[in-house]
Structure formats: C-alpha cells, structure tokens
Structure 1
C-alpha cells in the first residue's frame, strides 16, 4: 500500500493560450515550485488548460443553430448556439428539461452540456466557450512522452474535469484521459481480508487520483491547474481512461 501520498498544486502557472507548449510550462512550473519529478509520480492537469492549448475554444457568434438546436433550446432554456455545439459534440441526448441538458459525449462520457463551459475562458467575458479535447487519452499520451524525455523519468498523466453524479449533489473531479498508469484496476478474483473472493471490485484508480487532485486545484479562481502527485504505488497493467467508460450494452440507465 502506498504511504505518504502528497498532492502539490503548482503555483504561478501562466494563463494558457492556443498553441502553448504544455510540456515546457510543466517543466517551468516544477522549477518555480522547487519540485523534482520522480519515477511513479503522476501529473494531474485540469482539462481546461489542455483544451485551451489545443485551441478548442469557439466563439458563439460564429455558430449557426440548426432547427433541431432551436427547438431543443426552447425546452432546456439555453442559448441555441450553445445547444448546437452540444449536439455537435454528442452522440445521444439522455435528458432535456428546463436548465438541464444531459448527453452522451462522442468520447463516451455522460455529462451536462457535453462538457462545454464558459467558466475560466477569457476571464468569463464575451461569447467564447471551451470544448473538451478531441481525444483526452491521446493528449495525455503525447504529453507524457514529451515530459518523460525532458525530465528523465517515467511519470503518469491524468487529465481531469469536474462531473456531477447521479443522485448526489455537487461535482467531483474524474479522469477524462490518462497515460502511464492503470486507470481501472480489476481486483476480481483476489481475496479480501477475510479470505472471501472479490467478485465485482474494480477500482477507478485514475478517477480517485483526479478527485483528490481536485481538492488541491480548487474549482474557482485559484489558478492552479497542475497538481503533482507523489507517493503512489500500483501493481496493475497500464490502461487509459477509456477503460472507465461502461460499455453501452452494460448501461443500466439508457
């Protein structure tokens, strides 16, 4: 079992712009905070800075809503241009009532508004919104390769975002993408402390890392979108965050 796990939010990270080199920004952040990455460390990044660096912002003034978006916007009481973007990023509408639009994102996440957000985009001013990365696992893998080469060690990457949960108030951070660690650990077949065989236990390891990192990051104006996690230990094969998405044929609520 891992002992002495620490979550350190990197201070002094600049506002991210399209095309910024996240690997260089991470290295600079580690130096500024007098931190040394080691084998087995995990870097958690807020989804927003990945999306910003990848140029995933959209000006709503450039969006022409379709008839479907206009009709749906009347139901959910939202900007039809935003609804059009949500539809373009989704494969299925799961719930549409006033002030609520729950969809299945094209990457499989079930979430409100396809993860499209106004907060912390251009200071929250104007009509720009931010979409999720095209492929968060691929983004994590590329960044990990760059950082491993630059830092001379093997680290893991988690790209996190805040999610609501069915039947529970509030949001908690989960892993949208990951690389270099087991996002899901299957413990079925192992024995518990009383010798009973575990039959259903699968640990959402990357989600657990992201949730704890969320406490260090904060959800508002803290400006600390990078968290270095040290002291973790695992014995399981690497699996990316797509392994956390329940297959549609096992979806109990579709």
Structure 2
C-alpha cells in the first residue's frame, strides 16, 4: 500500500457512448490522456459491465421480462414483479443484471457472457499497448441481503487478488484470524463507483494505491468467479417464501440450494421445533432416527407433510414402514430403499 495507507481513484469525464465493436481500451486510453493521466504498474483499471456489454454487442431489443428466462439459471426469490435469480455466471442479481438505463428506449443491456475473460483480454491489451502491468475489474451493481440500497461488485477480474484470505494470521492482540477474508475486488468496485457516479457518463476508473494486490503479468489469478459460492454452500439459497414452497414440493431437482445433508442432531432439533408437542423424535443409530408423529395413535396428514418438508430441506428422506407411524431416515443422496 502507498505510504499512509492512501487510495486514489480517478474517474475522468469525456467517454463517448460505447457501441458494439468499439475498441474499449482505446477509448479508455484516449480519455485518460485527455485528462493528463497515464496508467502505472500496480494500478487497477475498473470498467463497468455496461460499457463492456455494449462493446461486445450485448444490447438487445425488448424488455427485461422478455430476456430474463434466457439469462436465468434458476429463480431464487420473487416478490410481485421483482425476480431475484441466479445467473449462468453464478451471480445472484435482480432481473439477472439486465439493465434498461442509459440505453435507447425499447432496448436493454445484458451482462457480458464471460466477464473474467473480458478482464483478462483488457489486461493483456494494456500490457501490449502501454507496457504496464495492471489489475482489471469489471463491475456491476447489486443489492445486498439485509441492507437497503445497492453497491457495485466485481463480476469479472484479472491480475488481481480478489479475496484477501487472512486465515493463519494473528491480530495485534495475538488472536488467530480464522475466517476473515476481505473481498477486496468488491471493495475496489465500490470505491470506483463512488468516483464514477451513476449519471455522469464515467464508465471506467483507475484505482491507485493497492499495487500489493496486483499479480505478475503472467498471472491473471482466479478471477471474480472465485467470489461466487457454489450451489448449496450459501446459507440462503432460496428466498424465505420460496424455501418453504420448494421444501414442501420435495423435488430432488430443487435440492442443491438447500446444501448437503445436515447432522442428524440438527435435524432432530429442527423437527422438534416444527412438529411441536405431541410428536416423538429420537435418534435410532448412525444416520437413522424414528419419528412418531403421535405416540398416542391417530393419523395427522398435515403434520406428516410438514415433517417431510423439514426432512427434505435438511438433506434427508423419510421412509415409513407400512402400517406404522415410525419413520426411518436415509440421506437424500442414497437413493430409494432396497427392496426385499
């Protein structure tokens, strides 16, 4: 880092409207030159996904709704007309990141097909044209769970440490750091957006002061894809309402966002909360437990449906013996029980 921990962000004015086939880096270098700025080793060049998408011909006729299904890997949550989806990039965004602003009426801008690859090409071109080794970040705007408003995040990156893993380090008091891992590519994206603004036609910025994060010229790093949690690793793979609906449905194709099978002890606790008084839940050996929905006898289809939903969401399947109110659990991945 520079002395005193300073960080400088330059987002010059003067970039013309970007069109399909434009030399994006050529536009960047021209605007920088007009502003009296030159790229230096260790800089991070930050470019909006919209500028990249326009240059790559990703502006299309139609509305968000008309293109949303094709850009969606799966629905995460829906509230009225608003859809939060997981894109084919693995990003979780409103309307798959399709943007209808700063574009002609009746047209929308889709996200770049491969933002990491674009970042890599821009980085290679910077080195070829200027001799400078820089990092490149492609950004887009995203909301955050539990927080109002939006901020820019890195959807593509090259030549940059995107996640600064502190595991194994100690703080000033000697305490070990176990899970601290600043998403520095996202932090750089947010800092650049403060200088760029949303309405000032500044689609790129140069961030200076974190040369320690920029990799050698022959190392593009893992890219922004390293910041995307795989399906099932996120604790919030479904929206609150959608999680209930998908668990009740119990379709194995919906299982991945719920993650791997929970420990039997955790499942027992969850079933006890969900089923309440009058249901007996007890372990019955490794990986097995018995559920008696009503020890006093009787049949409760509503309670049984709730039980199956909880079991499914926790990665298990419950098999009931004929004529019995006792259920044996097996991991959902284990397939159907063996026949006689």
Q: Same fold (TM over 0.5)?
A: yes
Higher relative contact order (CA 8 A, sep 6+): 1
Structure 1 residue 99: deviation in Å?
A: 2.9
Q: Deviations over 1:84-124 (max 9, x none)?
A: 411101111011221310000110000100000100113xx
1:89 and 2:71 correspond: yes
Matched with 1:107 is 89
Query: Compared with structure 1, are the counterparts of its residues 195 and 233 closer, same or farther at alpha carbon in structure 2 (3 Å cutoff)?
Result: farther
Which of 181, 186, 207 lines up with 2:160 in the alignment? 181
- Confirm or deny: 8 A CA contact 1:17 1:53 kept in the other structure: yes
Q: Deviations over 1:168-192 (max 9, x none)?
A: 1111010010111111121111111
Which of 54, 57, 64 lines up with 1:55 in the alignment? 57
Q: What secondary structure is seen at the aligned counterpart in 1 of 2:194?
A: helix
In structure 2, what is the Cα distance between the partners aligned to 1:156 and 1:195? 33
Which of 88, 98, 111 lines up with 1:132 in the alignment? 111
Matched with 1:11 is 13
Matched with 1:63 is none
Structure 1 residue 195: deviation in Å?
A: 1.0
Structure 1 residue 12: deviation in Å?
A: 0.6
In structure 1, what is the Cα distance between the partners aligned to 2:55 and 2:38? 24
Matched with 2:30 is 28
Structure 1 residue 46: deviation in Å?
A: 1.1
1:222 and 2:200 correspond: yes
Instruction: Give unpaired runs (5+ residues) of structure 1.
Output: 61-80
Q: Deviations over 1:133-174 (max 9, x none)?
A: 000000000011011110111011111111111111111010
Instruction: With the length of structure 1 as denominator, give the TM-score of the two structures.
Output: 0.87
- Confirm or deny: 8 A CA contact 1:185 1:236 kept in the other structure: no
Structure 1 residue 239: deviation in Å?
A: 2.8
Matched with 2:277 is none
Structure 1 residue 235: deviation in Å?
A: 5.6
Q: Deviations over 1:8-48 (max 9, x none)?
A: 11211111011000111111111111011111001111111
1:120 and 2:102 correspond: yes
1:151 and 2:134 correspond: no
Instruction: Give unpaired runs (5+ residues) of structure 2.
Output: 216-220, 238-340
Moved more, 161-170 or 130-139: 161-170
Alignment: residue pair count: 230
Matched with 1:40 is 42
Moved more, 222-231 or 128-137: 222-231
Moved more, 227-236 or 29-38: 227-236
Structure 1 residue 247: deviation in Å?
A: 1.6
Matched with 1:253 is 236
- Confirm or deny: 8 A CA contact 1:184 1:239 kept in the other structure: no
Instruction: With the length of structure 2 as denominator, give the TM-score of the two structures.
Output: 0.66
Which structure's CA Rg is the greater one? 2
Q: Deviations over 1:44-78 (max 9, x none)?
A: 11111000000001101xxxxxxxxxxxxxxxxxx
> Which 4+ stretches in 1 moved above 2 angstroms?
1-4, 81-84, 233-239
